[in-house]
Amino acid sequence: MSDTFISTKPIPVRERLIMALDVPGIPEAQALVEELGDAVIFYKVGMELFMSGDYFAFIEWLKARNKKVFVDLKFFDIPATVGRAIKALSSKGVDLATIHGNDSIMEAAAQAKGDLKVLAVTALTSLDRGDLDDLGFQCDVKQLVLSRAKRALQIGCDGIVSSGLEVSMIREELGQKLLVITPGIRPVDNREDDDQKRAVSVEQAIQNGADYLVVGRPIRDAADRKAMAEKIQSQIAALFD
């Protein structure tokens, strides 16, 4: 596979791994962060933790430990509401946040983001062609992702969330202009109960042009979580050497 799409952005290599804290509560999340130690610098905090309470206190706890924070709540509401939510979030020291929706929603978020980097969701990695048909999208997955990426760039979003399967197409069309965050990373073959239908390996995602990789279950469910995180860090680092 060609390496021409490998990210050229000045991102410290060990910050390119984002650990998804998809656990039931704050105590479990804190224990996992402490267990991983310096193996992980960047963390994704999503809806499950939001519903468990003390979400913003936990963000402050992460920032106090010099961690970077990706708020993945996929804000989707009327544009004014999304804009106010993003403006409020920008004061929390958060590094990345996701939004969903149409041009007006993206515009409101882009105008309110301040130093916060706003990411537009393209197509969830849990969706395949059949799912998009059911949702009424009469286009190919790649066409949908590319269309949303182009709109996000034009409107002023900082980046997108995209499966690693579509990243090379985005890079070919748009170069290195957008941050691309890729979830659904699987260092090993998918399990039968895995809900990520468009998953890729660490190597494939980086070679296709992803700037950041979001990894959850492969680390969380490992027998030695820190060792697994360091293994993935080594795989990423080898591609940038």
Residues identified as active-site:
74
Strand partners, 68: 42
Q: How far apart are CA 182 and CA 176, in angstroms?
A: 15
Rg value, the chain, Cα: 17
Q: Is 77 annotated as a binding residue?
A: yes
Q: Is 11 annotated as a binding residue?
A: no
Q: Is 125 annotated as a binding residue?
A: yes
Q: Is 73 annotated as a binding residue?
A: yes
Q: Is 232 annotated as a binding residue?
A: no
Q: Is 78 annotated as a binding residue?
A: yes
Q: Is 216 annotated as a binding residue?
A: yes
Q: Is 186 annotated as a binding residue?
A: yes
Please report, in range form, the residues annotated as the binding site. Answer: 22, 44, 72-81, 125, 186, 196, 216-217
Please report, in range form, the residues annotated as the binding site for substrate. Answer: 22, 44, 72-81, 125, 186, 196, 216-217
